[in-house]
Structure 1
Amino acid sequence: MYEFQCVTASYMLSLFTDDLKIIDDKLSREVRNVILTQFPDRCPEELFVFLDKYWRDLSSEAGVVMNTCKEIDGEFIELMPHFQRAVATTIAESVVYVSFGSTVSISDEQIEQLALGLLHSRQRFIWVLKDADKGDIFADNENSTKQRKLPSGFEESTSETGVVVRGWAPQLEILAHPSTGVFVSHCGWNSCIESLSFGVPMIAWPMHSDQPRNATMVCEYLKAGVLVRGWDQETVSGSEVERAIERMMGTDDEGKEIRKRAKGLGEEIRGAVKENGSSKAEFDSFVQHITR
C-alpha cells in the first residue's frame, strides 16, 4: 500500500535533521536554509512526537506519493535515499545486503567481480566492505594487512543506488528493515540465524569451516536461499553474482517461493522464543535443571 502525502520532500527531510549531519558536506547553503531553519514557536512539541512515530510506522508501507515534482523539489528528492526512514518509504524488499563477517578475506579480483555484479544488477544495495581481518588464518599475510579497494568509478556510478560501509554496520537493524530483500553472506551460523529470524532469504557464499555445510542447510534443506559459490570455486564472476541477485529479487516463481519460505521460517523462529514456543520451553527446562 502506498501513502499519499500533500507535503514536499523538503518538509519530509526536515524531520531528519540529526541524520543530515552524515551528508552535511553535500548540502548547499540554500538547501540548509530550507531544511534546517527552525520554527519552534509555530509547532508544539506533541506534534513532533506524533510525526516521528508516524514516519517510523510508515516504514511498513510500500512507498509515498508526494504532491510535488522534480522541477520544484528535485534536489530534495535526490537527498531522500540517504536516510534510513526515507529509504523505508521506497519499495520494500528492494535492497541487497552484502556482508562477509569478520573472519573472511576476499581477493581484489573477487571484490571487482562482486562490484560488477552489484552494478549490473541495478538493485539498491548496502555493501559492508571491511579491511581484511588480520585474524583470518586462511588469508595470506599480504592480503590480511592491506586496504580493500573498489574498482575505479564504482562508488560514483552507484552513488544513487548503493552504500559502501567500511567498518562496522548494524547488521540486525539492516536485516530487520523492511527494505532489505536478500542477504549475500558467507553463511557463518550467526549470520544465518539472524537472517532467517527476520525472514530474509540468503545468497550463500561459503568460504571455510562450517560455512559450506550451513549454506547447504539454508539452500537445499530449508530452501530459503540460493548458492552462488561452489565449494571449490576460486572466483565468482560478476555475471554469476548478477544472476543470483536476479533469481532472488526477480518476479519468477522460484524467487517468489524462496522469499515466501524465508518469511515463513522467520515467523516460526520468532514464535519459538515467545511464551509457549519451543525454544522458550527448552530454555525454561534448562534453567530448572541447573537450579534444582
Structure 2
Amino acid sequence: MGVEEIQATENNVVVVVMVPFPAQGHLNQLLHLSRLISSYNIPVHYVATTTHTRQAKLRIQGWDPLSPDSQLIHFHEFPTPDFQSPPPNPNASTKFPAHLQPSFDAALLLREPVAAVISELSLSARRLVVVYDSIFPSVIQDIASIPNGEAYSFHSVSTFCISSYYWDMVGKPVGMDDDIDKHIPHGGILTTMTSEMRELVNSQHEYRKYSSGALFNTCRAIEAPFLDVLAKVNDKQWPIGPFNPVELCKNSKKQGYNHLDWLDNQAPNSVIYVSFGTTTTLTNEQIHAIAVGLENSGQKFIWVLRDADKGDIFVGDTRVCELPEGYEERITLKGQGIILRGWAPQLEILAHVSTGGFMSHCGWNSCMESMSMGVPMATWPMHSDQPHNALLITKVLKVGVVVKDWAHRDELVESLTVKKAVKELMASKEGEGLRRRVVELGTAIRRSVAEGGDTHKEFDGFIAHICR
C-alpha cells in the first residue's frame, strides 16, 4: 500500500515511523514495538530494506504481522544497497560479527528513503513521530526539517549497560555491590567491538541531538536502580518492555516444528535450551567441546546449531557446523536431545513447561525473553553489550550461572566446563534457587505489563506524550 492510499483511508492524527538497524536483534525489537504501539489504534510505518523487512516478518514470534489484527502496521521496503559481505569467520580473533560490517555501513544510505517517507506522511498527520535505533541517528536527521515531526531514540541494550557509563558522574546504582563494576569491560561496550564498528558508532555522535527522549526494552521489575541512574541524565525516558509477548496462545505453535512435540513428552524443567544467537560463529573445536559437555551432563537438551547470519540471509550457502561422528544419531536414539540446524521459535521453546534452562550468548532479546518466561540462564557472552548483560543476569539479578567469563573470552571452553555449568543450572540446589528467583521475576514482569503495572503505565504515558 502506498503512502497516498494510507492517507486516504486513515485519520492519521498521530503517525509513528519505525527505523530499525539491520541486525536481527534490532529488527525484532522494533517490530514487536510496532505491534504494541498499533494496539493504541495508532498507525505504524516500519521502514527498512526489502531483505531486512522480509527477515523481520519471517522470524517474528508470538504474533503474526500479516494478520488482520496487525492491519495498522505498514511496511515500506527499499532496495538493499549493494555491498559485499564475506561469510562468517569462525576463526576470527574477535566474536564481533565483522562480516556484517558492509551491511551495517550500507544501512546509512537509508537516509534518503526515510526522509521521503516521513516527509509524505507528515502532510496528513498532526504529529509525525519517528522511533529510530540509537546506533544510527544520521538516517533520521531530516526530521529536523519536519515542522510537526519529532524523534525518539530506541536503545536495544540493557539500562545496566548504558548506565554504567554514568556511574562515576552521578553515582552508582542504589544497592549494587561495590565489586560488580570491576567485572565490566574496561572502556565500556565499544571495546567489545571491532575498530570498524567503533568508527561507525562514533561517526553518529553529532546526530544524537535529534532525540526528544529515549525508549528502552526493559522495566522497573528488572532494572529499577539503573533506570534511576539514567533519570539523572535524561528525564525524558520510557522503560516500556518487555516488547515480546509474555503470554503465548496455546495454539501458537508453528507448523513443522517437531521439537515442540518432543518437548511435550519431557518432564517439567528438565530440558536446557542452547542457542548463541544470530551473530555468533563457533570453531569446530568449540562445537565439539559443547557437544561432549552436553552429552556427558546427562541432561536433556535442544541445541540450535547454526552459523551466524550473513548480510543477506536469503542468498548463498550457509556453513554446516560439524559434530563428532555419530553424535546426532546417538543423542536422538537415546532421547537425550535434538539438534536444530535452522531458525528456531525461541520464544515458544522458552515458554514451554519442559524448558528449565537456557545457555545463551546473552543478547538483550534473549535475556528479556528468558526472564519474562521465568527461565534461568547459563551465560556465555560473545561481544557488544553481552558481557554487561551476563553480569546483570549472574551477579545482579542472580538468575543464572557462568559458563564463560568475559575475562577468559579468548580461551576455549572445555567440555568439562560445559558439563559442570549445565549440571549446576539443571540438577543442583543452587540451580533450584536460581529457578525460584527467575520464576518470581517472570511473575513480576507479567504483572508489570498488565493493566495498572509499571510498564503499562509507562506505555500509556509515552502514548499520551506523543498524542499531546
TM class, shorter-chain normalised?
0.5 to 0.7
Which position in structure 2 is the counterpart of 1:250? 427
Confirm or deny: 8 A CA contact 1:132 1:148 kept in the other structure: no
Which position in structure 1 is the counterpart of 2:442? 266
| Separation in structure 2 between the aligned mates of residue 83 and residue 214 of structure 1, nearest angstrom | 28
Tell me if 1:188 matches 2:372: no
Q: Which runs of 5+ in 1 are unaligned?
A: 1-55, 58-81, 137-143
| Separation in structure 2 between the aligned mates of residue 284 and residue 87 of structure 1, nearest angstrom | 37
Secondary structure at 2:393's aligned position in 1? helix
Tell me if 1:179 matches 2:179: no
2:276 partner amino acid? F
| Separation in structure 2 between the aligned mates of residue 271 and residue 91 of structure 1, nearest angstrom | 27
2:419 partner amino acid? E
Secondary structure at 2:450's aligned position in 1? coil
Displacement of 1:256: 1.4
Displacement of 1:113: 0.3
Equivalence map 1:58-137=2 (5 Å):
84-85=260-261, 87-135=263-311
| Separation in structure 2 between the aligned mates of residue 86 and residue 205 of structure 1, nearest angstrom | 26
Which position in structure 1 is the counterpart of 2:195? none
Q: Deviations over 1:93-142 (max 9, x none)?
A: 10010011101111111100000011101111110011233359xxxxxx
Which position in structure 1 is the counterpart of 2:415? 238
- For 2:398, which of 211, 216, 223 is the aligned residue? 223
Secondary structure at 1:118's aligned position in 2? helix
1:152 partner amino acid? E
Confirm or deny: 8 A CA contact 2:294 2:301 kept in the other structure: yes
Displacement of 1:270: 1.1
Q: How has the CA–CA distance of structure 1 residues 260 and 119 changed in structure 2, closer, same or farther, with 3 Å as cutoff? A: same
- For 1:151, which of 318, 324, 330 is the aligned residue? 324
Which position in structure 1 is the counterpart of 2:456? 280
Q: How has the CA–CA distance of structure 1 residues 96 and 86 changed in structure 2, closer, same or farther, with 3 Å as cutoff? A: closer
| Separation in structure 1 between the aligned mates of residue 400 and residue 277 of structure 2, nearest angstrom | 18
Moved over 2 A (4+): 82-90, 131-136, 144-147
| Separation in structure 2 between the aligned mates of residue 106 and residue 151 of structure 1, nearest angstrom | 15
Q: CA RMSD in A?
A: 2.0
| Separation in structure 1 between the aligned mates of residue 262 and residue 341 of structure 2, nearest angstrom | 22
Displacement of 1:85: 4.4
Q: Which runs of 5+ in 2 are unaligned?
A: 1-249, 252-257
Q: Deviations over 1:38-96 (max 9, x none)?
A: xxxxxxxxxxxxxxxxxx79xxxxxxxxxxxxxxxxxxxxxxxx663464243111001
Secondary structure at 2:420's aligned position in 1? helix
Confirm or deny: 8 A CA contact 2:259 2:338 kept in the other structure: no
Q: How many residues align?
A: 205
TM-score by length of 1: 0.67
| Separation in structure 2 between the aligned mates of residue 155 and residue 127 of structure 1, nearest angstrom | 11
TM-score by length of 2: 0.42
| Separation in structure 2 between the aligned mates of residue 150 and residue 265 of structure 1, nearest angstrom | 36
Q: Deviations over 1:134-166 (max 9, x none)?
A: 359xxxxxxx96321111111122012111011
Q: Deviations over 1:239-291 (max 9, x none)?
A: 10100011111132x11111111111110111110000100000000100110
Confirm or deny: 8 A CA contact 2:299 2:423 kept in the other structure: no
Which position in structure 2 is the counterpart of 1:213? 388
| Separation in structure 2 between the aligned mates of residue 86 and residue 242 of structure 1, nearest angstrom | 22
2:287 partner amino acid? I
Confirm or deny: 8 A CA contact 1:96 1:126 kept in the other structure: yes
Q: Deviations over 1:155-196 (max 9, x none)?
A: 122012111011100000000000001000000001000000
| Separation in structure 2 between the aligned mates of residue 239 and residue 284 of structure 1, nearest angstrom | 49
